[in-house]
């Protein structure tokens, strides 16, 4: 398909008169994706979530440009000051005099990086595991799925804490490293995708078109990634989106407990943790936490919308 129409109105639809598709005689050829895009655009909460995400993540990605102060700058004339328009301290200042809004913006950038990294890495890994298990079945399937079950029965938060703490104790240079933490998180987020992809592969490998591909001499890898994989993209995108939210919450919890991301990187969870000792400065608890809630809420709305759009087989479960 070429460009979507500029107006953003009904992209598809009959070129002819009526308002319903049935009346149109000249129909534009539409792909599955354009139907999906339509379903997504009709989902009001998803659009609201998407707009929210673009604004919040956009602000986070551009934090070096839009933050009123450089990170680490302390305003010694306004230490522990409540939210005020004075000096652009919209979220107040913390107990050292650093601007809270600036720190929150940098925290959003961290959340964005962790969320996207974890979602991408865990989706790709889960996809590979699920594809091999579902396609080859038998022993490979058994081994891979038992490993998946095993990961699912581990006490996730405790293991994550133990890993990131012990890694930090053993290799102090890696302590609080954003990418190491993301990798550890990804090690726990792939199981859902693996199960879903396996399910799809198990049923699709019996389809006629796969047989046809095999008959025409396609190799296993080609069948798996060229013929079957595109049919699993819907669930993968949906779950990947929801994994962004899950990863952000988990990262903030780890950082809150002091075993996640540490300075020089700013994490929203770590910001809330420092606020814990200063109940009189309520704004230090409220704003970073509220930011996490908003991000995850938007991600979940988008995820729900994508589920309705891309994964019509899955019954629509609102909220």
Binding of residue 276 to another protein (CB under 8 A):
yes
Q: How far is the CB of 275 from another protein (least distance, A)?
A: 8
Taking a C-beta distance cutoff of 8 angstroms, is the pair 274, 74 a contact?
A: no
Q: How far is the CB of 267 from another protein (least distance, A)?
A: 12
Which of 307, 305, 292 minimizes the C-alpha distance to 56? Answer: 292
Coil vs helix vs strand at 79: coil
Binding of residue 296 to another protein (CB under 8 A):
yes
Q: How far is the CB of 138 from another protein (least distance, A)?
A: 17
Contacts of 223 (CB under 8 A, 6+ apart): 135, 210, 213, 214
* CA pair distance 147, 278, nearest whole angstrom: 44
Taking a C-beta distance cutoff of 8 angstroms, is the pair 129, 144 a contact?
A: yes
Of 12 and 167, which CB lies nearer to another protein in the complex structure?
167
Sign of the dihedral through C-alpha 132, 134, 138, 143:
positive
- Of the candidates 85, 153, 263, 313, which one interacts with another protein according to CB under 8 A? 153
Binding of residue 167 to another protein (CB under 8 A):
yes
The residue count for binding another protein (CB under 8 A) is 43
Contact flags string 218-247 toward another protein, x per CB under 8 A: ---------------------------x--
Coil vs helix vs strand at 120: helix
Interacting residues toward another protein by CB under 8 A:
149-150, 153-155, 157-159, 161-163, 165-167, 169-170, 245, 249, 252-253, 256-259, 269, 272-273, 275-276, 279, 282, 285-286, 289, 292-293, 296-297, 300, 315, 317-319
């Amino acid at each position: 398909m070429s460009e979507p129409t500029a107006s953003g109105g009904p992209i598809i639809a009959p070129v002819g008169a009526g308002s319903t598709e049935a009346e149109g005689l000249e129909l534009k050829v539409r792909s599955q994706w354009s139907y999906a895009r339509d379903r997504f655009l009709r989902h009001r909460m998803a659009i609201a979530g998407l707009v929210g995400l673009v604004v919040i993540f956009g602000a986070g990605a551009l934090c070096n440009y839009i933050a009123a102060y450089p990170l680490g700058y302390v305003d010694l004339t306004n230490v522990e000051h409540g939210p005020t328009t004075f000096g652009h301290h919209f979220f107040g200042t913390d107990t050292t005099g650093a601007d809270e809004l600036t720190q929150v913006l940098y925290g959003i950038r961290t959340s964005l990086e962790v969320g996207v990294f974890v979602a991408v890495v865990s989706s790709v890994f889960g996809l590979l595991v699920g594809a091999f298990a579902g396609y080859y079945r038998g022993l490979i399937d058994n081994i891979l799925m038992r490993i998946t079950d095993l990961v699912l029965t581990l006490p996730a938060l405790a293991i994550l804490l133990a890993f990131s703490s012990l890694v930090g104790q053993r290799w102090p240079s890696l302590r609080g490293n954003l990418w190491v933490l993301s990798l550890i998180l990804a090690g726990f987020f792939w199981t859902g995708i693996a199960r879903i992809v396996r399910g799809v592969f198990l049923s699709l490998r019996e389809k006629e078109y796969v047989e046809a591909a095999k008959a025409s001499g396609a190799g296993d890898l080609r069948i798996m990634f060229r013929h079957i994989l595109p049919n699993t993209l819907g669930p993968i995108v949906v779950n990947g989106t929801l994994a962004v939210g899950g990863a952000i919450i988990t990262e903030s919890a780890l950082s809150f407990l002091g075993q996640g991301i540490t300075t020089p990187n700013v994490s929203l969870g770590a910001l809330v943790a420092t606020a814990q000792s200063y109940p009189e400065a309520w704004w230090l608890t409220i704003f970073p936490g509220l930011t996490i809630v908003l991000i995850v809420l938007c991600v979940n709305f988008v995820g729900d919308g994508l589920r309705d759009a891309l994964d019509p087989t899955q019954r629509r479960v609102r909220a």
